[in-house]
Amino acid sequence: MSLDREFSEDGKVLTIYLEEKFDFSKVQDFRLAYSEGNEGVNSIVINLQNTEYMDSSALGMLLNMQKSLSDSVKSYKISHSRPQVLKILQIARFGKKFDIT
């Protein structure tokens, strides 16, 4: 897995750190990042501090993550978005489904 991830001390928050490009080439790595070893996780943070490019497939991956984890995860947050990525999230109205900070 080429994406970094980190669990909080209590194991309830999973933070996934995306790379410079978040596009279809990351689909498998992204799916593994949120689906493996996440027992007890009830909140997911997607950290976009290094992400300069995001396409529509990335938006779809975020929605698929939310759909597949809807039974166990109650809170989804997108953090540290750069201005160009934040604009994409705002245009797609992701603020309705994710807490964007």
Q: Which tens digits make up the pLDDT trace of 52-83?
A: 999 999 999 999 999 999 999 999 999 999 99
pLDDT at 1 over 60: no
What is the CATH number assigned to the segment(s) 4-100? 3.30.750.24
For position 11, what pLDDT does the model report?
93
Which residue matches tokens 């279809």? 24
List alpha helices for the chain, DSSP H: 27-35, 56-68, 83-91
In percent, how much of the chain has pLDDT > 70?
98
Average pLDDT over residues 3-13: 95
DSSP 68-80: HTTTT--EEEEES
Confidence class for position 2, pLDDT limits 50, 70, 90: low
pLDDT at 32 over 80: yes
The two beta strands, 4-7 and 13-17, are antiparallel
Residue type, 85: V
For position 53, what pLDDT does the model report?
95
